[in-house]
Amino acid sequence: MNARPDAWLRQAQNDLELAQLARDNGYLAQACFDASQAAEKGLKSALLELGLEPPHTHVLNDLTRRLKKTGLETKDLEALSLRSLSRMAIQSRYPVDSTPPSELFDPDETDQALATAREVLSILKALDQQG
pLDDT digits (tens, 9 = 90+) for 48-74: 999 999 999 999 999 999 999 999 999
pTM: 0.94
Q: Write phi, then psi, for 96 (nearest 5 degrees).
A: -105, 115
pLDDT at 1 exceeding the cut of 60: no
pLDDT tens readout for residues 94-125: 998 899 999 999 999 999 999 999 999 999 99
Average pLDDT of span 33-62: 96
Q: Is the Cβ–Cβ distance between 103 and 96 less than 8 Å?
A: no
Domain span at residue 125?
3-130
Average pLDDT of span 28-53: 97
Q: How many residues make up the chain in this entry?
A: 131
As a whole number of angstroms, the distance between CA 54 and CA 52 comes to: 6
| CATH number of the domain where residue 88 is located | 1.20.120.330
Structural domains counted in the chain: 1
